[in-house]
A and B are shown apart, each in its own frame.
Chain A
Amino acid sequence: MFRALLWTQWRESRIAVLLLAAIALVAPVLSMNRLGPATEPWHAWDLLSASMRWSSSYPIVALLAAIALATGAWRPDHRTRHVYALSLPIRRSRYLLLRYAAGLTLLLGIGAALLAGATIAVLRVQVPPLLHTYPVGLALRFCMAGLVAYTLLFSVSGLTPRAARLLAALLLLLIIASLVADLLGLGWNPVERAMDALLSPYSPLSIFRARWMLVDV
């Protein structure tokens, strides 16, 4: 059954998965591509600058992968109004777990592509003493960031229409409240607070805030 669901997931999101896996494979290699010889005094400068410049691309790929896989996981069920799922002689939770695992497998595939690309990239450059390469650490953070974003979006995509409407209403209310707060000059903005909460150190998305450096101190 898992294989069947994995196949469905693959069919729904294969273009996005292949594209993102290719980006994940190529980005680290490209980031270390135009570096001068290691004997040059500015080698460490160039290496760290390149690492820093490309560091924002990894969380973006993780987020895009999560979006593509989460929407792909639910699309067949939404399209067929869950008839296939309801016809199966298994519990809802087991079915959802299998669907979730199918998306997760593909996410790990993209993570593996990043690990391969990062390993190739660091093998091609000579790293000055006292600097370190982090291909495994980068891939690990990528997978965990992808995991949390994928789970969050999987949960939102799987909401019942009523719950989705409630969520949309809540968001709308938040925006209206923030507009009213601005008009009244309350100095307190609910949208700002919500964003702060979402990116606070203990929030689900806090994993996206870090130094995603392939080469670092």
Chain B
Amino acid sequence: MCRRWGWAAALALLWANPLAAQGQAEALRRVEAQLDSMRGVAELRASALAAASATDTAVAGRLRVTTSVPLRPLAQAAADQAWALLVRRFGASVTSRATIPVIQFGDATSSPLAGADTSEVARGFERLASDAIWRHQGALFAEWLRGNVPGVEFPASDRAVIAEELLRTPARSNRACYQGDAAACAVSLGLRVGPDTLAEWYLPEAWPRLATMVGGQLSGLETVSKQQCEQAGDSAACRAILTPAHVLLPVSVGGRRFLLQEALDVGGDGAFERLTSAGDLALADRLSNAAGLPLDSLLTRWSTAIRAGAPHGPAQPSWELFLAAAWSALLLLVVLGGPRWR
């Protein structure tokens, strides 16, 4: 399948004749759009195949799950749960219009699994459906999230990772952002960055090492630029390789996903609709509209949540240490109360 996509991408690149005249980013965006549409066709095909190979269907709202007869009760319960979660997350009006591919759960011969967790299955359905909903929201979000659609809710434990990133990555704005400076957070999160993104994010002294982190497939020119930047610190070469698409983000996509989630959580009913409403609104405005707050307030809230989730050292939480002491005392009591020597 990957090979087919590779050929398709190559053909699309050849077909896009005026590539040389346009910016690389524009061309890539066009190829991505074509790939997205092809992926959509493949999804529909997979859905049709899924529907044909199973013998029963569980339906909840616009969620359709094809499954075997023995698995149907589990699939139905999970689909109901998943649909409730989707409605809560995206709002009734979005979910009622959503195009969700048919989900296949087991095949025609599958039998129920002992100890299967309905909530776990429901979370799987929810993830697949929300992936589909997010994928239809256009390039703005896909680009900002670098293709990582927020399929599942952002786990609270991952805030520690973002806190660490803010203090670890040598981006100019990160420390101020960690301390609650909303303007700095907007820069770190790529919401308010000027045309010279690289200089706004990182000091020139950090560029050579940033270049060492650039991975993936590079063209010959890019490889040369990378080497010149790493070895000689040539700023023109650094600028050539450390494009917004290649450079290490000051805050990774996880942080961006968490901001999106915060905006939706704060915004409550209709937040997703406001976020994805039609029109030529910038991402910052969309987030602000979704949350029903000025962007700076939303970013301050985000930063506070990150600080609250930051780790507090190996001795925390203290209850873990007390628990260890309690277990030790209990085990010791059992040994001391033992009946005999051997």
Contact = CB atoms under 8 A, between A and B. Distances in A.
Contacts of A148: 324-325, 327-328, 331
Contact of B316 (A129, A137, A188, A212): A137
Interface string A54-81: 0000000000000000000000000001
Given A154-B335, A207-B321, A211-B314, 11 more contacts: A41-B202, A82-B341, A82-B342, A92-B341, A138-B314, A140-B321, A144-B321, A148-B328, A158-B335, A160-B341, A187-B113
Nearest to A150: B328
Interface string B298-342: 000000000000110111100011011101100110111110111
A125 interface: no
Interface string A104-117: 00000000000000
A41 B323 contact: no
A44 to B, nearest CB: 5
26 contacts: A41-B170, A41-B203, A41-B206, A42-B209, A44-B168, A86-B341, A97-B336, A130-B167, A132-B313, A138-B314, A140-B321, A141-B314, A141-B315, A145-B324, A147-B324, A147-B325, A148-B331, A151-B331, A152-B327, A155-B331, A158-B335, A187-B114, A204-B324, A207-B320, A207-B323, A217-B164
B228 interface: no
Interface string A138-177: 1011001101100110110010110000000000000000
B163 interface: yes
Interface of A is mostly: helix
Contacts of A186: 113-114
Contacts of B164: 48, 216-217
B83 interface: no
Interface residues of A, number: 51
A217 B332 contact: no
Interface of A: 40-42, 44-45, 48-49, 81-82, 85-86, 92-93, 96-97, 100, 128-132, 134, 136-138, 140-141, 144-145, 147-148, 151-152, 154-155, 158, 160-161, 186-188, 202, 204, 206-207, 210-213, 216-217
A137 B340 CA distance: 39
Given A82-B342, A161-B342, A207-B320, A100 B332 contact: yes
A45 B163 CA distance: 13
Interface of B: 113-116, 160, 163-164, 167-170, 175, 178-179, 202-203, 205-206, 209, 310-311, 313-316, 320-321, 323-325, 327-328, 331-332, 334-338, 340-342
